[in-house]
Amino acid sequence: MGKTIAEKIFDAHLRDEPFAGTYVLDLDRVLCHEITTPVAIADLEWRGKDRVFDNTKIKAVIDHVTPAKDSKTAMQAKILRDWAHRHELHDFFDVGRNGVCHALFPEKGYIRPGFTVIMGDSHTCTHGAFGAFAAGVGTTDLEVGILKGVCAFRKPRTIRVNLNGTLAAGVYAKDAILHVIGQIGVNGATDRILEFRGPIVEAMSMEARMTLSNMAIEAGGTSGLCLPDMTTVDYLWPFIQDDFPSRESALEEYRKWCSDDDAHYEQVLDFDLSGLEPQVTYGYKPDCVKPVEEMAGSRIDQVYIGTCTNGRIEDLRVAAAVLKGRKIADHVRGIVSPATPKIFSEALNEGIIQVFMDAGFCVTNPTCGACLGMSNGVLAEGEVCASTSNRNFSGRMGKGGMVHLMSPATAAASAVAGVIADARSL
């Protein structure tokens, strides 16, 4: 019987099987940020084991609250910074060079097909877009990852999600994944791996695939994988051109990770997305999803464009195309946070930043910021935000605040209309 991509990656990285069904994997990447890593560092120090398994495979960034907003966040950043320097991490990103982890690390070429990746962050599933097994873990798993370069997982069980048809103009990866989560529910893929397949995924850019994979965790998924193809190779080419004589040879190498035709899936779900409308969430769970027309007219106070879900250059281009020549509604606060410095400079060079500013947006530095209600746009009690992020839990952007998740196009249109609005009918 054939194997899924996840099974192939597990096989190739198996260090130990201490008990039947428990797989301890060797890790290619251990990614760190300043919120979940400091406690792991402190614990390693306390145990007298302040070591790292490989300072070329561990990458670290200060991204959640940056530049620091107060003494406590300054201390978290300092703990990570001192540790990164102490162990001479090859890749550590501090203020000015830092960006949202799940946008920054792929952009640097750190994620490759067939890799195993962990991070103390639930949206680590994003990196599955490259055909890597990438999973969010807690601080203890992170700590063992840092010290030993291993992590334990259960036998991978995969749900294959076929996205069939074509997305209509004005409908994006965000709409597709919101729809899928709306259908399978926040518990629909718990402890399962999602494998995104089908013509819609094949036609997607790496940016769009990252949006898709990013939200696998919102259905409970451990990782959200896309199969490596020429789009993957093209994206990675600047980083791998010395390793391969040609793009075709890189593709041939990466293809070996692709799932076999006769691989076993726990479930196969088919979605025909040809008629899909833009999607918006309405409640406090990411599976509370409706077509935009049913939500149109809902009151908003703030619009947030950015995050690891939709803060990439393609997202900013889409939003700017909607905003160009328009002003946002008087009562709306618009905030845009390009996810990395590279994205910020591209947006600057393309005139996109000017479009946002002319429309009345506040442009922040790359950071998670308001996405988790820690800085740069926290909501007051009773306020509502139209957001391109991935999580609408009650209080996520500030106690008593409400978040509607949507695509950058819908968010931009809503900023202009002052209420939730369909970009296609602006």
Partner 1 sequence: MKKEFGGPAIFLDRSDINTDEIIPAKYLTEVTKDALKPYLLEDLTLEGFDPKGESLQQARVVVTRENFGCGSSREHAPWVFEVNGIHTIIAESYARIFRQNMFNGGMLAIELPKADIDRLFALQRSGSVEISVDLEQQNVLARSSARQESIPFEISPFDKALVTAGGWVEFADARY
Residue linked to tokens 């991935």: 390
42 binds partner 1 (CB under 8 A): yes
Tokens of 164: 């069939």
Which of 37, 232 has the CB closer to partner 1? Answer: 37
Residue 49 interacts with, from partner 1, ligand SF4, none (CB under 5-8 Å by kind): partner 1
391 binds partner 1 (CB under 8 A): yes
Tokens of 216: 């696998």
Strands 402-405 and 384-387 turn out to be parallel
Give, as ranges, the residues between 148 and 187 that touch partner 1 (CB under 8 A).
148, 150, 152, 186-187
Residue linked to tokens 């099974």: 7
Near partner 1 by CB under 8 A, which window of 68-76, 84-92, 194-202, 204-212? Answer: 68-76
**H helix runs in 204-255, sequence order:** 206-214, 230-240, 247-255
191 binds partner 1 (CB under 8 A): yes
Query: Which are the contacts of 79, defined by CB distance < 8 A and separation ≥ 6?
Result: 34, 37, 38, 41, 42
Residue 249 near residue 142 (C-beta atoms within 8 A):
no
Find the binder of ligand SF4 among 100, 125, 147, 201 (CB under 6 A): 100
49 binds partner 1 (CB under 8 A): yes
Residue 308 interacts with, from ligand SF4, partner 1, none (CB under 5-8 Å by kind): ligand SF4
**H helix runs in 134-172, sequence order:** 139-148
* Beta-carbon count within 10 A of 348 CB: 13
190 binds partner 1 (CB under 8 A): yes
117 binds ligand SF4 (CB under 6 A): no
Strands 116-119 and 29-33 turn out to be parallel
Residue linked to tokens 């390693």: 44
Positions touching partner 1 (CB under 8 A) are: 15-16, 18-22, 24, 35-36, 38-39, 42-43, 47, 49, 64-65, 70, 72-73, 75-76, 79, 120-122, 124, 136-141, 143-144, 147-148, 150, 152, 186-187, 190-191, 220, 222, 285, 372-374, 391, 393-396, 399
Positions touching ligand SF4 (CB under 6 A) are: 64, 100-102, 121, 123, 307-308, 368, 371-372, 389-390
